Amino acid sequence: MSKRYPSRLVWSMVSTISAAVGTMLLAAGAHAQTAAGTTPEMTAAEIEQGKKIYFERCAGCHGVLRKGATGKNLEPHWTRKAADGTTTEGGMLRLGTARLEKIIALGTEGGMVNYDDILTKEEINIMARYIQRTPDVPPEFSLKDMEASWKLLVPVAERPKRQMNKINLKNVFATTLRDTGKLALIDGDTKQIWEILDTGYAVHISRLSASGRYVYTVGRDGLVTLIDLWFEKPKTVATIRMGSDARSVDTSKFKGFEDKYLIGGSYWPPQYSIMEGETLKPLKVVSTRGITVDGEYHPEPRVASIVSSHIKPEWVVNIKETGMILLVDYSDIKNLKVTTIDSAKFLHDGGWDITKRYFLVAANASHKIAAVDTKTGKLAALVDTKKIPHPGRGANFFHPQFGPVWATGHLGDPVVSLISTPSDKPAHAKFKQHNWKVVQELKMPGAGNLFVKTHPKSKNLWADLPMNPEREHTESVYVFDLTDLSKPPKKLDVAKDSGLPETKALRRVTHPEYNMAGDEVWLSLWGGKTDRSAIVIYDDKTLKVKKVITDPNMITPTGKFNVYNTQFDIY
C-alpha cells in the first residue's frame, strides 16, 4: 500500500484519460458474487470505493489478484472469517473484519505503514470488508488497445532541431507530484519550478533517453508520457497506455540504437510492450504469464524493474512473481530473442554495480538479492539478506576493507546491507574472496527504508525511513559517513528543517537524489494532498539546508530524477 489518493474514483479517472479503457475497467466485475454466510455485505458504492482504494494503495504490493508478493496473500480463503471459527488449510486463522481493521490501521513490522492517519475509520472498515470478497479481475489490454490509446501530439518533424531554452538540462529534476497526476520539472541550478505537466496518476519513475533530450514517465494507471526538453517550455509530444497498472520503462541505449526504442512493463495485464522511442508508436506486446522458478503456474507475473544494458543491445526485464530475469535483445524486434534466467521470486527494484556489468535486483519477499551478469547472460549470485530488501537503485561506493560494494536497505529489518561486487582492476584482486557476500550491515534506528543513495564525489550514504510508523523516524533521514562506517548515522529532522508547520498526519521523507555535481541531496517531504509538502535540499558536505522548495502546486512530491544521473545510471 502507498500514500494519499485523489478524490475521484480510479476507474472514472482512467476513463477521463482514455474513455475506452475507462469503460473497459468499469466492467471489471465490480459486483462480484459473495459467498453466502461468509462475506460481509457491501453496497455497490462501497464496492467501488474499496476497488478505488485497493488499486491506489494495495495492488502494488499485494497484486491485482491478491496473491501476494512484497505484501502478503490477501485472497478470501484466509481474509474471510469462517462461520465456525475454524482455521484454513495451512493452519492460518481466518482473519475477519475486526482483525483486518486493526492490521490496516496499525500496519505491520513487514513494511506496511499504518493507515489510521491516511484513511478514515469508515474507509478502513470498507477495506476490511472489501478484501474478503472475491478479487475483481480487470480485462486484458492488447496491441490494438495500445494503438487506440496512442496520441502523437507533436510529430518528430515539427519538433525543435536544437535546444530552444537556456536551461542546464543535465541538472533538471523530474519530480513526481503523486496524487495530482503531474510532473514538476525543476531547474537544479536556480531551484525554480520550470514547468508542471500532466502525466499518468502516481508516476512511479522518470527515465531519460540516451541523448538526454526526452523524459519518459509511467504512471500507475498505465499511462506513458513522452516529454521533449528542447522546446522553450518542455512539452508533452506523445502519450500511450500500456494497460491499467504499470511501473517501469526504459529506452534503448546501446550504440546505434540511441532513442530508437522504448520498453514498458505492466503490472496488469502482466506483459511488456515495445514502442518507438521518439513517437511511442506501439510495436509489440509480450505476455509474461507462465511458470515460476518453483515450477508452478502463475496468472499474474508482473513486470517490475527494467534497465537498459550498457554493453549489449538488451534490456534487463525482471518478472516479479515468477522470479525470472529476462534479457530482451532489441537488435531485431520482429524476431525477438529473449534469454530467461532463473533467480528467486518476487523480483522488484534494483541497480547496476559500479562496473555496470552486473545488475542487482531485490527478490524482496524471498529476502535475497539476485545478481545477473549481463556479459555472460547468466545468474552471477543469489545473496541472502535481511527481511524484504528494497534498494531502489541501490548505492555504489568503495569500502576500504572490502573494496567495491553495493548497498540496499530493507523494509522489514533495521539495517543497510553492503554486498561486495566484482571488479576487473588488478588492484582489486585482493577483494575477490568477498564477492557476492554481505560484508557489513549498517544499523538503522528502525525498519521501513525505501531508498539509499550516494554519489562518486560524495563521502556520505543517505538512507530514508518513509515506511516506518514512528514520526521521529519517518520525518527524518539518516546519513552514514563513508570514511568511518563504525559511527552511527547522523539524523537530520527534515520536517523540522523545512520550516513548515507541523501536521497531524505523518509527512514521509523519501527518495534522496543528488544533483549533477554530487554536492547537493534533494529530499521529498511527502505530506498529504491537503498538507503543505516540500523539496528540502541539503549541502552534502555540511549537511546544512541550502534551500526549501515549496509551492501551492508542490503537492505530494515523491520521486525526483536528476537528468544526468538518471541518464548515466549514477548512484
Per-residue pLDDT of the chain (571 residues; tens, 9 = 90+): 333 323 322 323 333 333 333 333 333 333 333 333 368 899 999 999 988 888 878 888 888 888 888 788 888 888 887 655 554 445 555 788 988 988 888 887 666 877 887 889 999 999 899 999 998 888 899 999 999 999 999 999 999 999 999 999 999 999 999 989 999 999 999 999 999 999 988 899 999 999 999 999 999 999 999 999 999 999 999 999 999 999 999 999 999 999 999 999 999 999 999 999 999 999 999 999 999 999 999 999 999 999 999 999 999 999 999 999 999 999 999 999 999 999 999 999 999 999 999 999 999 989 999 999 999 999 999 999 999 999 999 999 999 999 999 999 999 999 999 999 999 999 999 999 999 999 999 999 999 999 999 999 999 999 999 999 899 999 999 999 999 999 999 999 999 999 999 888 899 999 999 999 999 999 999 998 888 999 999 999 999 999 999 999 999 999 999 999 999 999 9
Residue 333 belongs to some domain of the structure = no
Q: 164 in helix, strand or coil?
A: coil
Residue 147 burial by CB count (10 A; 0-12/13-18/19+): exposed, middle or buried?
exposed
What is the CATH classification number for the domain harbouring 57? 1.10.760.10
Phi, psi of 28, rounded to the nearest 5 degrees? -85, 55
Q: Which of 61, 146, 275, 467 is catalytic?
A: 61
State yes or no: is 410 an active-site residue: no
C-alpha span between 115 and 337 (Å, rounded): 44
Q: What angle do CA 434, 435, 439 make, to 5 degrees?
A: 50
pLDDT at 546: 98
| Predicted local confidence at residue 377, as pLDDT | 98
- Which pLDDT score is estimated for 108? 77
What's residue 387's pLDDT?
96
Residue 29 lies in a domain: yes
Query: Reading across the β-sheet that carries 520-526, which strands appear in turn?
Result: 508-514, 520-526, 534-539, 545-549
Count of domains observed in the chain = 1
pLDDT at site 380? 98
- Are 319 and 345 spatial neighbours (Cβ–Cβ below 8 Å)? no
Q: Is residue 62 situated within a structural domain?
A: yes
Q: Domain for residue 208, yes or no?
A: no
Give domain status of residue 105, yes or no: yes
At 529, give phi and psi (nearest 5°).
-65, -30
Query: Active-site residue among 1, 13, 42, 62?
Result: 62
Catalytic (active site) residue 467:
no
Residue 428 lies in a domain: no
For this structure, is 516 an active site residue? no
Query: What pLDDT score does 109 carry?
Result: 66
The grid cell for 348 is: 522488484
399 classed as catalytic: no
Cα distances from 397 to residues 26, 31, 256, 352, 439, in angstroms, run: 48, 52, 31, 12, 13
Q: Which of 42, 112, 146, 275 is catalytic?
A: 112
- The question of whether 164 is a catalytic residue gets the answer no
Active-site entry in 204, 367, 390, 434 = 390
Task: Assess if residue 429 is contained within a domain.
Answer: no
Entry pTM:
0.85
3-state DSSP call for residue 96?
helix
Q: Omega into 269 within 30° of 0, i.e. cis?
A: yes
Report yes or no on 506 lying in a domain: no
Dihedral, CA of residue 125, residue 131, residue 136 and residue 138, to nearest 10: 90
| Per-residue model confidence (pLDDT) at position 80 | 85
Question: Which residue is catalytic, options 348, 410, 473, 511?
Answer: 348
From 1, 24, 42, 58, the catalytic residue: 58
Range of the domain at 29: 10-130
455 counts as catalytic: no
pLDDT reported for residue 36: 35
